[in-house]
Structure 1
C-alpha cells in the first residue's frame, strides 16, 4: 500500500515514520521546500522532531501533487486552520478509492466545522465514506521513541476503521476502532482548550487540587458541547476524550499547556506564540468552541474564561476567581 502523509510537523513526521517502518512506501509532504530538502538530505526532521532518524523507505517532498497522486491511503496532519486550503490544492490528484485518515485536531474558525465536515466539502464526491479519524493520547516524541501508546480510529464505516487499525497498529502503537466520528473529533479538539486552562493554573502556582478539578469539570463541558453536536457521551470517557485530556493537561510535552503556563506567569499571547515553532491548536480552537457553545446554547465556563484571557486580555487570576464564584449548583447540572 502506497501512503502519502500530508504535513511534516512532529506528528505527521512520526506517523509517516511509523508507517514506513511497517514496510509501507511512504511519501511525506512538507509545506516548506527547505524542510523537505533538509529531511531528505539528513534523514531527520531537525525542526519539528529532532533526534530521530527517518526510515529508509520514507521520502520527503514539497510537491503536493506528487505526494498525493497514486496513493492508496492519505494521512492528513496539516493544522486544522489550513486543512481546507491544503486539501483544496490536493483534491484533484486524489484517486477515487483512496482511504483518507485525518489526524488533525481542531475546529475551523470561520465555519465552526470539525475536520470531517471540512473534508466532505473539499474532497472529491464519493470519498466521504472512506474517511477515518485518528485521535487519542499520543505525544509525537513518545510515539517516535517507541513508548507504548493507544489511540482510536473512528469511521462511520466499520470496514474503513478496521483497515486503518490494521495499517497503523504495531507492538507499541495500539489502535482501537470506533464509529462516533463527531465525539472522537471533538474530544481531540476541545481537550486543547482545557489544557490551556490547566497550564494557566500551573503558571499561577496552583496545585494538584486545582488541576484535578479543572480536568474533571473540563471533561464535563467537553461532553456537554459534544452531545449537543451529536456525539455520544461515553466517547468522552475514552481515549479521544479523557485519555487525551489527561495527557495534555499534565504532560510537559503539551504545547497547549505550555502556552497556558506562560499566560499564567503574566506573558502576553503574541509574545508567547512568536517564540514557538509548532502550532498550539487550542488557541484557535478556543475561539471556535466559544462561538459554537454560544450558538448552541451550551454552558462552557472554562472555555468562556479561556476565551476572555486569550481574546479580551483578561487577567488570569480574575478568570479563576470568576469561575470559582459562579452560581452554586449540583454536580450533574
Structure 2
C-alpha cells in the first residue's frame, strides 16, 4: 500500500523520513524547490526512498494520505481539494481545534470526504527526534478497527511504535489541548515562577483537558495515555516545544518570532469559545487565550488564577 504525506513542514518531513524505512514515500510540498534538504528540518537529508513533489494530483494517487498541515489551514485545504482525497485512508496529524467551526480535524475530514476512512496520529513527539530515528511511541486512533489495524502495521517502523485506539475524539483533543497548557507552562517559567508552579499548571491543566474532552465524548483513559498525558508532559517540559517557547516569551515579556506557527495560540481561543458554549470552566485555557491576544498582563493573569475561590480538588 502506497503512502503520501501532504505537507512538508518539519513534522511532515520527519514522518516521511521515518516511514521511508518501510518503502517508497511521496512528500507533497507547495514549493519543492529545496530538493533533498528541507530548510524546515535543518541537518536532515532526505533518503532516496522519498519522492518530493509539488503535484498534488500525483501525490494523492497513494492509498494512504497523512495530512501534516496546520490545524487552521486544514479547512481551507479541504475546501479546495476534498475531491482528490475522498475514498482514501486519511490520517490527520494536526493538533488543534478549528477556530471557525470549533471542531477537530477528524470532523472536518469526515464532512468533506464522506467516503474516506479517517484516522488520527498523535502523541509525544518532536520532528527532530523522529527524523533522527530516535524511539518514539504515538497513538493511532481510528473508529474502524479493521482499518486501524491495517494502518497501524503500515505506519509502524522499528523506531516508530503506534498504539491503536478507537477514540478519535479523545486522541485529537489530547493533542490539541496540551498545546494550550504548554503555553501556560512556558509563561510560568518565563515569568520566573519556578518548577513548583509549573507542576501545578500541568496538573490543573490536565484536569481541564480531561473535563472538556469527556464533555465532548472522549474516554477518560485516552487522556491518560500517550495522546494526552504523554504529549502534555513532553511539551510542558521541553524548549523544543514551540508552544512552550511562545509562552516563555510571554512570561519574560519578550518578543516571539511571528513566522513560527504556534498551534496552541489559536486553539486557546477556540477552547475559550467552546468551553463557554458547553458551560465548562477552563480558567487556565481562558487566561492563555487572553495572554496570546495581549488582552491581559502576565501579572494580572497570575493574580486572577491565584485568587479564584478555594475549592476541592
Same fold (TM over 0.5): yes
Aligned with 2:177 (options 190, 195, 201): 190
Gaps of 5+ in 2: none
CA distance in 2, matches of 1:6, 1:19: 14
User: Which residue in the other structure is 2:168 paired with?
Assistant: 181
CA distance in 1, matches of 2:151, 2:195: 37
Show CA shifts across 1:173-220 (max 9, x none).
Answer: 111000111000000000000000000001001211111111110000
**How far off its partner does 1:312 sit?**
4.5
**How far off its partner does 1:165 sit?**
1.2
Q: Secondary structure at the match of 2:43?
A: strand
Q: Name the Cα RMSD after superposition.
A: 1.3
Query: TM-score, normalising length from structure 1?
Result: 0.91
Gaps of 5+ in 1: none
Tell me which stretches of 4 or more aligned residues in structure 1 moved more than 4 Å. Answer: none
Query: TM-score, normalising length from structure 2?
Result: 0.97
User: Which residue in the other structure is 1:200 paired with?
Assistant: 187
User: Which residue in the other structure is 2:29 paired with?
Assistant: 30
Aligned with 2:109 (options 86, 111, 119): 119
Q: Residues 189 and 195 of structure 2 are in contact (CA less than 8 Å); yes or no, is this contact kept in structure 1?
A: no
Q: Within 5 Å, which residues of 2 pair with 1:103-114?
A: 103-114=93-104
Q: Within 5 Å, which residues of 2 pair with 1:13-162?
A: 13-23=13-23, 25-31=24-30, 33=31, 36-38=32-34, 40=35, 43-46=36-39, 48-68=40-60, 70-94=61-85, 96=87, 98-123=88-113, 125-127=114-116, 130-162=117-149
Q: Residues 21 and 55 of structure 1 are in contact (CA less than 8 Å); yes or no, is this contact kept in structure 2?
A: no
Q: How many corresponding residue pairs? A: 313
CA distance in 2, matches of 1:95, 1:135: 22
CA distance in 1, matches of 2:294, 2:242: 21
